[in-house]
């Protein structure tokens, strides 16, 4: 993956990394709005209904039904990414996935570039459905981002996607319930100004027509401007009766660019209810978030967003050891969702690109794994976001801002 290009933002770490190198300290520059204690109480764990426009969701272009026997490869998916030329999808980062009941794949993307006649040309997020190597975008009549900003005006960036079996409460004819964990982001006035303010989860329901529609968005954490808070929902994985929610935390220690990793859990039967969330304290589960203990330290820590999956009974982390703009995609493994975790194993070179001169940076960040997508080789499919730090160049050459796929072997038992 040495030819990767880079990103315009996903790493909330890019400015801190550069500032850290120059000054040995961290400072996030996005201005924090004034929020009173009354505001905090009223906004706590709010649930927001979708706009009426959500009902107009449709798939464009149409793709054939998936072939249950079909497999893909990193090479075929990279070619598919190259061929995409949709008016409202020219580039995007992240690309977290989950498999639907019928075998199609849902993709949740972050910042999404559109053709130049759209204003704005860059929107907060987008959603796709794929069948084999064919991709459909989920569009609504209003256009813009698929996950609209809430009353607080904060951007919603997807982090993790999980598909669950629907319940009778979800309505008649629903085939899939999809949870999309999102970071609530406050953007500043400049390109690199943004601040994590909390986690929400969007609930999508897929009906008989196969189109996912936004049902509601629920806050999992209250609003906070603390730059060193735990970013819950950075990864999510169901197992048994539980949904395991992983969180990353930037410690702001000088010259430490990795993030601590934490784990919590909620009942799979009530996955959007933060009131029943439990936190791993190093020896057991507690109902007090302040007692959460890291399961990986920051020195060799992970990116802000990562993948944690239970693959054939083994828990597997895919991330960059040392933070978003490190140079290697790395794997950790464990026998349980809490660890203990193996030593990190570099599995794929992916130069971060932050050491190039400004305006010439081809950045790679946020590697994710996709165990729900079967490869012909049987290896694990991984992707990495890429972009350039020149936004005009990105708009002129959007292929620089599309994810790149590769395959890595899983360790033998």
pTM of structure: 0.90
Confidence label for 291 from pLDDT (cuts 50, 70 and 90): very high
Which whole number is the average pLDDT over 103-116? Answer: 98
Q: Give me the residue label for tokens 């001169």.
A: 357
Domains of the chain: 14-36+66-408 (2.115.10)
Say whether pLDDT at 78 is over 80.
yes
**Cβ atoms < 10 Å from Cβ of 210:** 17
Can you give the pLDDT at residue 353?
Answer: 78
Query: What is the tens place of the pLDDT at every residue in 143-194?
Result: 999 999 999 999 999 999 999 999 999 999 999 999 999 999 999 876 567 8
Can you give the pLDDT at residue 190?
Answer: 64
Assign residue 392 a region: left if phi > 0, alpha if psi is -120 to 50, beta otherwise?
alpha
Confidence label for 8 from pLDDT (cuts 50, 70 and 90): very low
Flag the least confident range among 38-52, 94-108, 138-152: 38-52
Query: What is the tens place of the pLDDT at every residue in 86-98?
Result: 999 999 999 999 9
**Cα–Cα nearest to 213, from 17, 53, 381:** 53
Which whole number is the average pLDDT over 46-61? Answer: 92
Query: What is the tens place of the pLDDT at every residue in 303-352?
Result: 999 999 999 999 999 999 999 989 999 999 999 999 999 999 999 999 88
**Cβ atoms < 10 Å from Cβ of 148:** 19
Task: Please provide residue 80's backbone torsions phi and psi, each rounded to the nearest 5 degrees.
Answer: -65, -40
**Cβ atoms < 10 Å from Cβ of 410:** 17
Assign residue 103 a region: left if phi > 0, alpha if psi is -120 to 50, beta otherwise?
left
Say whether pLDDT at 53 is over 80.
yes
Q: Give me the residue label for tokens 């764990």.
A: 45
| Residues of the chain above pLDDT 70, percent | 88
CB-based contacts of 110, cutoff 8 Å, min separation 6: 10, 92, 93, 94, 124, 125, 157, 158, 385
- Say how many residues make up the chain: 413
Can you give the pLDDT at residue 341?
Answer: 98
Task: Please provide residue 55's backbone torsions phi and psi, each rounded to the nearest 5 degrees.
Answer: -70, -15
Can you give the pLDDT at residue 377?
Answer: 97
């Amino acid at each position: 993956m040495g030819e990767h290009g880079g990103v315009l933002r996903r790493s909330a770490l890019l400015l801190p990394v550069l500032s850290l190198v120059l000054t040995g300290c961290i400072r996030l520059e996005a201005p924090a709005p004034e929020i009173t204690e009354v505001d905090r109480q009223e906004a706590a764990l709010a649930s927001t209904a979708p706009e009426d426009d959500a009902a107009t969701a449709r798939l464009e272009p149409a793709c054939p039904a998936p072939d249950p026997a079909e497999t893909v490869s990193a090479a075929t998916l990279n070619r598919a990414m190259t061929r995409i030329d949709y008016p409202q999808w020219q580039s995007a980062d992240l690309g977290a996935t989950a498999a639907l009941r019928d075998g199609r794949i849902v993709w949740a993307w972050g910042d999404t570039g559109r053709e130049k006649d759209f204003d704005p040309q860059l929107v907060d997020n987008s959603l796709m459905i794929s069948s084999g190597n064919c991709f459909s975008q989920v569009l609504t009549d209003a256009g813009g981002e698929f996950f609209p900003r809430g009353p607080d005006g904060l951007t919603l960036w997807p982090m993790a996607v999980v598909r669950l079996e629907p319940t009778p409460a979800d309505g008649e004819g629903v085939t899939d319930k999809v949870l999309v964990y999102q970071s609530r982001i406050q953007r500043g006035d400049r390109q690199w100004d943004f601040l994590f303010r909390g986690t929400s989860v969007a609930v999508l329901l897929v009906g008989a027509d196969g189109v996912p529609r936004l049902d509601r968005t629920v806050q999992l954490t209250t609003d906070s401007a603390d730059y060193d808070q735990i970013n819950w929902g950075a990864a999510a994985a169901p197992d048994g009766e539980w949904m395991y929610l992983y969180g990353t935390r930037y410690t702001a220690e000088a010259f430490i660019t990795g993030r601590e990793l934490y784990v919590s859990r909620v009942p799979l039967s009530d996955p959007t209810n933060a009131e029943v969330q439990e936190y791993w304290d190093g020896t057991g589960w507690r109902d007090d978030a302040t007692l959460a203990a890291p399961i990986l330290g920051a020195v060799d820590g992970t990116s802000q967003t990562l993948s944690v999956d239970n693959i054939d009974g083994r828990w597997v982390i895919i991330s960059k050891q040392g933070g978003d703009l490190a140079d290697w995609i790395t794997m950790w493994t464990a026998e349980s969702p809490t660890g203990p975790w193996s030593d990190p194993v570099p599995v794929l070179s992916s130069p971060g690109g932050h050491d190039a001169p400004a305006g010439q940076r081809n950045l790679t960040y946020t590697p994710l794994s996709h165990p729900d997508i079967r490869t012909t080789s049987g290896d694990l499919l991984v992707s990495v976001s890429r972009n350039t730090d020149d936004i005009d160049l990105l708009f002129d050459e959007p292929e620089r801002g599309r994810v790149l796929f590769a395959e890595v072997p899983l360790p033998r038992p």
